[in-house]
Structure 1
Amino acid sequence: MKKVLTVCLLACALLVLAACSKEQEATPAPWLNNISKLYEHNQSKIVVTGGIAGTLTLKEGNCMPIVNRNSCKEYPVKRGIVLYPYLTLQDVEMKNYTFYTPISAKPLLTTETDAEGFYEIEMPAGVYSIFILEDGQLYANGLDGQGGINPVVVEAGSVNKVNLRLDYAVY
C-alpha cells in the first residue's frame, strides 16, 4: 500500500511540474497582446519623482503581416534591469547583435521588474545605458547615432518613461 501511495504522489508531483512552464508563469492572461492597456496600468504605479520607469515585455512568434498573427505574442515578463553609465560600442564586447559584455564599466544599479513587467529607478539627471538581464547576459536592442547602447536621458525632477522589449519575434 505504501509503495502504491508513493508512486501516486510521485506521479502527481511530476504532472504538476510538467504543467508549469516559463511561458505560462510569465504570460498574465489579461495582458497578452494588450500592451497599450498594460502600459496605462503600469504608469499608475510610478512613485519615483526623478529617474526612469516603464514596462518590460517579451515579443515572440511569427509576426509576419501575411501570416496568421495568432502566433505573434507580446506579454510582460519578470527580468532584471541593469543601469550603466552611458556606454558605446567601444566600451563593450558584443556577443551577438543584442547581447553585450561591458569591458570596464560597473553597473550603477540593478532592479527587477514585477510580474506585470513594471520597473522604476530613482536616478539623478544624466545619460545612462539600460540593459535587460536575460539568462545571465546583458540584452539591449537599441543604439543612438553615436554608437551609444540603449541610451536613456534623465532630466532633473522628471521621470523618463522607457518601455523595454525582449524581441525574439520573426518579422
Structure 2
Amino acid sequence: MDFQAVIVTLSLALFLQHQGIEGVARRPSGNHMPSPHYRPRPPSGVKATICVFSLTSDSQTKKAGRPGLYSAVETRLIRQVDTDDSGRFHIELPPGNYSVFTKKGKLFYATRRDEKNNIAPVEVLPGKMIRVECSVESDHAAVY
C-alpha cells in the first residue's frame, strides 16, 4: 500500500467510527426507596424528546418553577431527537462535552449536576458510545 492509500484508509476508519450517546428516557414515580425485602425496578422507558446542548452551566439557563425545569437554555442546541416508543435513543456526536435535557412542551428538564454546576454533563470520547439515563419530568413525584 502506498502512502496515499494509507492516509485514505485511516481517514475512512476515523470517519466510520461511531461515537455519541445512547440510552433510555424514563419517568420516575412511586416508591424507589430500597429496603431489605423490596428492590425497586427501574421505571420503564417512555417516549420523549432528547435535546443535546453545548455544555451548559446553571447560569446559562432560565429557570421555570420546579427544580430541574427550564424555560430556556442559552447555549447552542447541537441535536434534538425523539426516542422510540420504549424510550430508547441513539445520537451520533463529535467528541466533546455536552449537556443532555429532555423536553416537555416548551420546557427543558434535567436534574443532574457536576461539581462545576454544569447541568447533566456528558463527555463523548472518540470512537465510544456513552450510555446516558435521562429522566423525564413527571407530575407524579418519586420517593427515594
Shorter-chain TM band: 0.7 to 0.9
Indicate the SS of the match to 2:59.
helix
Question: Could you tell me how far apart the structure 2 residues matched to 1:112 and 1:64 are?
Answer: 30
Structure 1: 5+ residue runs without aligned partners?
1-47
Question: Could you tell me how far apart the structure 1 residues matched to 2:54 and 2:131 are?
Answer: 18
Question: Could you tell me how far apart the structure 1 residues matched to 2:92 and 2:73 are?
Answer: 25
Post-superposition shift, 1:65? 4.8
Question: Could you tell me how far apart the structure 2 residues matched to 1:72 and 1:125 are?
Answer: 33
Post-superposition shift, 1:134? 2.0
Question: Could you tell me how far apart the structure 2 residues matched to 1:50 and 1:163 are?
Answer: 17
Larger-Rg structure = 1
CA-to-aligned-CA distance 1:107-149 (integer Å, 9 cap, x gap): 1110011111110111000000000012331000100000100
Question: Which residue in the other structure is 1:118 paired with?
Answer: 88
Post-superposition shift, 1:72? 8.2
Question: Could you tell me how far apart the structure 1 residues matched to 2:120 and 2:85 are?
Answer: 23
Question: Which residue in the other structure is 1:163 paired with?
Answer: 133
Post-superposition shift, 1:73? 7.3
Structure 2: 5+ residue runs without aligned partners?
1-16
Higher relative helix content: 1
Is it true that 1:86 corresponds to 2:59 in the alignment? no
CA contact (8 A) 1:61 1:72 kept: no
Structural mapping, 1:69-80, within 5 Å = 74-80=43-49
Taking only aligned residues, the RMSD between alpha carbons, in angstroms, comes to: 2.5
